[in-house]
Structure 1
Amino acid sequence: MKRFLQHNFLILVLLNSGNLFNYLFQFLVGRSLTPDDFGTFNALNSLSVLASAPMVVIPLVLSRFTISLGVQNPAALRSLLTTSLRWLGLAALCVFVLGTFLLPGIRSYLHVEDSTPVLLMLALTSLSFIMPVPLGMLMGLQRFTGFGLGSCMSSVGRFLAALALVALLGHGVGGALVSGIVGVGASLALALFFLRDVASGPSEPLPKGMLREVGWYTLPVLVNAALLMALGNLDLVLARHYCPADASGHYAMAAVLGRIAYYLPSALLMVLFPEVTKSHESGEDSVRTLWLSMGMTLALGGGFALVCGLWPEPVISLLFGANYLDSAPALRMVVAAMALMAAANVFFTYCLACSLYGYLWILGTGLAGMISLISFFHASPEEIAGCLLASSAAILAATACWFLVVGMKAESRRRIVLKSRTIEQAP
């Protein structure tokens, strides 16, 4: 447990340092752009996040199979790295080409006049397909310093590039998107540096059937990531579509600030997942780890939500300026919704580590509910934020009930089976 807490502290500091630079970047861009341009940038950025949502599964999937190979056949780690980079590099190229064909439709839906920002968004999306490969292997090897620094570098590089391109040179939306490309490139280079021993070490083929096993495990993780990404970003895209330009900019500010309650404790999941995976494979009880992570998540995410709920105007004025004070009512609801989703995500991560997938029906239903609500109630940023809050609360409540009634019983049965097999195999 001491080691678990130490790893949590290290990752919490490193990843939230990255999150700090993410928000410094948003504050810098928000103060440098008009509300209309700020809304355009965040709509394009959210679309990039949605398009790259499948890649969020890569760190978890590679972490799980890196742990397995590290024990059984360390020489195959190089093959895992090169094979992953090759296939995802091909996928990145396909995404960029497909995006160029869809460019007119993207411009029309988001009301973007110039094609250049859309092309830059596609380039950022393509590069984001490759970055998770080395990060996932670092997490599986439990090189949390390299994992944390590699993840943080994306945010630091983006902020420094935006300082030059947006704040000093005034390149606007295009400069903000180029800054993202610079940050992702820096993160990829640093993560590969920490894996230089794997990249230059001995190489053996991957075990027979491993790619098929990776594929089957990737499917539920992919569904989970896609649903979470949609739930956390689609509201921005819908706000840009339904609301006037200034109103969508105000909602974008509330969404950007409110998501701190989600991302602040999310670093804890990078330690929770491999820890629970090991316990799951060995038949040990990991429920205590779940509740410890839940407590830390509620303290961090809920604490920030409480501050924003009580004093939204001073927080907005300090970070974004007086031009965005009209966002206060929406901020109260968005930050509460994100704190609830952070708590729900602890359940999701634990269930993925234990190969329990029933909660995906709840998450998918919640997303459909949010989209349906926003399609009817979108007259103002406050109405959209209220739809997000109602959906998040319903998802957390339903997931908690499902886990307590179904999930814990399934885990108890699994531990009994594993212990029985261990006794039978004992000499």
Structure 2
Amino acid sequence: MLSALIVNAGNYLYNLLVGRILGPSKFADAAILITFLLVLSFIAMTFQLVTAKYTVLFDGEAYKNFMSYILKRTLLLGVVLGLIIVLFSKQLQQVFNTNTASMFTVFGIGVPIYFLMSVNRGIFQGSKQFTKLAITYQAEMLSRLLITLLLLYVFVKNESSVLIAIGILISLVFSLLPFNKDITVQSQNDLSKKNKNIVIKFLILTAFYECTQIIINNSDILLVKHYFDNYQAGLYASLALIGRVVYFIAWMFVMLLLPTVVNKEKEGLPHRNVLLKYVGYITVLSACIVVVSYLFPVFVVNVLFGEAYIAIAPLLWKYALATSVFAISNVFAYYFLSIDKYIPVIITGILGITQVLLIVYFHTSLEEVVIVQIIAMVLLLVIQLLFFYGNTFIKRKKLNDI
């Protein structure tokens, strides 16, 4: 958790420094790459979570067969997605109104590396080798921060978005350290039909859920970049980065929650108290951030991004509220995902699509974009809570009947 806190702080510092150096208009293009990286992280997280879960559940020959199975599919998807980004870089430039297509080409080259990294991290997470897991995150964060700043300083007159992309690409190579010896495709045997079915089921549902994360976490930035000018889009990108500190903090707890719950479920032990403990932590932290954002918005924006971004200050607490509500509901969804209950995943997907539709129809101002997100996220949390307590009530009733 301490390492995750440092990594998130480093990533935050990276975003803040890039925003200050480039200013709102140029930062809009850089924010698109940062958003693409977040989108990629959610897709890759599918393979990390699947690897983490079945590192816990499989052993011996079944584990070797699983590693070969998941690695082949991870690399295949990484190569395909990378090629799509490279081949359609011109179209991406037009859709997101960026100054160059080269930034997408450079970014696409790094996609297969990111997917390989996700399997590497999944092994460390599932086997609770948290020190090695921490090192991979530290290596990625530090290399991206230092290399990007160096590139922006040395090649100050070059296209900044391309330099950002190069920094991201190099950092992905560093993120593979340390590399796990279990990552191999040497196994000649395939997974048994039973094991393959459960892996595919969890993989598909996790992928669906991660897609909902992409929609909820990043659709607003992408849509704002499409509907608004570069200055407004740059302001909104800074707002999103400040407000999402809640989500980054919440993710620290999710990283610890999943293997803990899976182990308890495997051993037949109760785990509801684990969920409530983490929800309590995140709720308290979220409340503190929203209150500070409400009381000192100008101070927060000025300290983090500078005077050029002050116009966004009145929206800070509202965006932090939307993110806080989503972060809390997200913990419930990951909890149920880890114990093979998938209705909350479907609920999240529906609300993610709802959020996109609301922004498409209501985007006359940046404030309206934020307000519709609050509405969608509050509705999501209410439904998740109803499902959780409804599920708890049904369990207790069954036990009483027995």
Fold shared, TM-score > 0.5 on shorter chain: yes
Q: 1:361: Cα distance to partner?
A: 3.1
319 and 105 in structure 1: CA distance in 2 versus 1, 3 angstrom threshold: same
Residue 50 (structure 2) pairs with residue 61 (structure 1)? yes
Q: Name the structure 1 match of 2:315.
A: 330
Q: Distance in 2 between matches of 1:207 and 1:89?
A: 18
Q: Name the structure 2 match of 1:25.
A: 14
Q: 1:237: Cα distance to partner?
A: 0.3
Q: Distance in 1 between matches of 2:71 and 2:191?
A: 18
Q: Which amino acid aligns with 1:375?
A: V
Q: Distance in 2 between matches of 1:45 and 1:145?
A: 26
Q: Which amino acid aligns with 1:123?
A: I
Q: Which amino acid aligns with 1:138?
A: F
Secondary structure in structure 1 of the residue aligned to 2:116? coil
Among candidates 108, 132, 135, match of residue 149 of structure 1: 135
Q: How does the TM-score come out when normalised to structure 1?
A: 0.87
Q: Is the 8 A contact 1:117 1:177 kept in 2?
A: yes
Q: Is the 8 A contact 1:333 1:389 kept in 2?
A: yes
Q: 1:286: Cα distance to partner?
A: 0.7
Q: Name the structure 1 match of 2:249.
A: 264
Q: Distance in 2 between matches of 1:342 and 1:127?
A: 28
Q: Name the structure 2 match of 1:174.
A: 162
Q: Is the 8 A contact 2:50 2:199 kept in 1?
A: yes
Q: Distance in 1 between matches of 2:242 and 2:299?
A: 13
Q: State the aligned residue count.
A: 399
Q: Deviations over 1:273-329 (max 9, x none)?
A: 111112222222111111111111112233222222221111111111110001112
Among candidates 313, 325, 334, match of residue 340 of structure 1: 325
Q: Which amino acid aligns with 1:35?
A: P
Q: Deviations over 1:138-195 (max 9, x none)?
A: 11111111112212321111101112112443251111121111222111132x1xx2
Q: Name the structure 2 match of 1:39.
A: 28
Q: 1:412: Cα distance to partner?
A: 5.2
With 47-56 and 34-43 compared, the bigger mean Cα shift is at 47-56
In the alignment, structure 1 segments of 5+ residues that lack a partner are: 1-11, 421-427
Q: Distance in 2 between matches of 1:204 and 1:268?
A: 37
Among candidates 56, 71, 77, match of residue 85 of structure 1: 71
Q: Is the 8 A contact 1:243 1:379 kept in 2?
A: no
Among candidates 95, 114, 130, match of residue 100 of structure 2: 114
Q: Distance in 2 between matches of 1:203 and 1:122?
A: 29
Secondary structure in structure 2 of the residue aligned to 1:188? coil
Q: Which amino acid aligns with 1:157?
A: S
Q: Distance in 2 between matches of 1:121 and 1:177?
A: 6
Q: Deviations over 1:360-401 (max 9, x none)?
A: 232122112211221222122212111222211111111111
Among candidates 173, 178, 183, match of residue 185 of structure 1: 173
Q: Distance in 2 between matches of 1:113 and 1:263?
A: 29
Q: Is the 8 A contact 2:29 2:99 kept in 1?
A: no
Q: Distance in 2 between matches of 1:373 and 1:158?
A: 35
Q: Which amino acid aligns with 1:150?
A: T
Q: Which amino acid aligns with 2:58?
A: L
Q: Distance in 2 between matches of 1:116 and 1:85?
A: 29
Q: Distance in 1 between matches of 2:183 and 2:213?
A: 32
Q: Which amino acid aligns with 1:208?
A: S
Q: Which amino acid aligns with 2:168?
A: G
19 and 98 in structure 1: CA distance in 2 versus 1, 3 angstrom threshold: same
Q: 1:416: Cα distance to partner?
A: 9.5
Q: Name the structure 2 match of 1:408.
A: 392
With 78-87 and 221-230 compared, the bigger mean Cα shift is at 78-87
Q: 1:213: Cα distance to partner?
A: 2.1
Q: Name the structure 2 match of 1:385.
A: 370
Q: Name the structure 2 match of 1:8.
A: none
83 and 355 in structure 1: CA distance in 2 versus 1, 3 angstrom threshold: closer
Spell out the pairing of 1:126-165 with structure 2 (5 A cutoff): 126-165=112-151
Q: Is the 8 A contact 2:139 2:177 kept in 1?
A: no
Q: Distance in 2 between matches of 1:388 and 1:149?
A: 35
Residue 342 (structure 2) pairs with residue 354 (structure 1)? no
Q: Name the structure 1 match of 2:218.
A: 233
With 367-376 and 225-234 compared, the bigger mean Cα shift is at 367-376
Q: Is the 8 A contact 1:127 1:184 kept in 2?
A: yes
Spell out the pairing of 1:214-233 with structure 2 (5 A cutoff): 214-233=199-218
RMSD: 2.4
Q: Distance in 1 between matches of 2:142 and 2:283?
A: 27
Q: 1:79: Cα distance to partner?
A: 4.6
In the alignment, structure 2 segments of 5+ residues that lack a partner are: none
Q: Distance in 1 between matches of 2:65 and 2:127?
A: 15
With 56-65 and 46-55 compared, the bigger mean Cα shift is at 46-55
Q: Is the 8 A contact 1:77 1:203 kept in 2?
A: no
383 and 136 in structure 1: CA distance in 2 versus 1, 3 angstrom threshold: same
Q: Distance in 2 between matches of 1:298 and 1:167?
A: 40
Q: Which amino acid aligns with 2:97?
A: H
Q: Deviations over 1:180-239 (max 9, x none)?
A: 11222111132x1xx23x359x97846523233211111111111110121001100001
Q: Is the 8 A contact 1:258 1:334 kept in 2?
A: yes
Q: Is the 8 A contact 1:266 1:297 kept in 2?
A: no
Q: Distance in 2 between matches of 1:25 and 1:51?
A: 18
Q: 1:69: Cα distance to partner?
A: 2.0
88 and 414 in structure 1: CA distance in 2 versus 1, 3 angstrom threshold: farther
140 and 411 in structure 1: CA distance in 2 versus 1, 3 angstrom threshold: farther
Secondary structure in structure 1 of the residue aligned to 2:99? coil
Percent identity over the alignment?
Answer: 21
Q: Distance in 1 between matches of 2:42 and 2:399?
A: 33
